[in-house]
Amino acid sequence: MPVDFLMQEHIIIERMIPPIKNELSKIKETKEVNPEFIDITIDFIRTYADHCHHGKEEGILFRELAKKKLAGEHDTIMKELINEHVYARTATSNLEKAKDNYVNGNTEARNDVWKFLNDLAEFYPKHIKKEDKKFFIPSMEYFTPREQETMLQEFGDFDRKLIHQKYTQTVAEMENML
C-alpha cells in the first residue's frame, strides 16, 4: 500500500529529530554552531524529507487525489499539507542563510540558526502525525487496489531516479565552479 511506503519514510525523518534536538542543546550551551552538522541537516531535509518524501506526496499522491472528488475535510488537509511543505522549504532556506551568516563572522546569527533548526525539529513530528493519523489512511479509500499498486510502482520509479538527479546536479555545480 502506498501509505506504508510513505509512513516508512516518516520513521527515518523522525529519527533525525533527536540529533537535531541534541545540537540545539549544544548551541545553547556553547554559543557555537557546528556548520557541518547544519549542512548535513539541510542536505537531509532537502534531499530526503523534501525532494524524496514530499516529492512523492505532491508529485504522485496529491496529483492523483486531485483527480478525485475528495470529502471537504480531506481536501482541506491536503491543502494544509502542501502549505506545510512550503513552510518547511522556507525554514530550511532560512536555516541555510543563517548558517552562512554565522560562518561569515556574524556570531549573533547563531540565534537564527537555533530558531530555524528548532522550528524544523518542532514542525516535522506534528506534520508527520497529521499525515499519518488524519490523511494517509483515509486517502487510500479514494483508490482502487490497482490504482494503489500503480502509485506504489511510481514511488519506486521516483526513488530510482532520485540519486541520479541529485548527483548529476552536484557534478553540474562543480563544473560551473571551474
CATH number at residue 125: 1.20.120.520
Residues 6 or more apart whose Cβ sits within 8 Å of residue 128 = 10, 13, 14
Across the range 53-72, mean pLDDT stands at 95
The domain total for the chain is 1
DSSP states of 14-47 as a string?
Answer: HHHHHHHHHHHHHHHHHS---HHHHHHHHHIIII
Single-letter code of the amino acid located at 58: E
Question: In which band, very low, low, confident or very high, does the pLDDT at 151 lie, cut at 50, 70 and 90?
Answer: very high
Across the range 129-149, mean pLDDT stands at 94
Across the range 2-29, mean pLDDT stands at 93
Average pLDDT of the chain, as a whole number: 94
* pTM of the entire predicted model: 0.91
DSSP H or E segment with residue 97: helix 72-103
| Domain that includes residue 129, residue range | 2-176
Residue for cell digits 546569527? 109
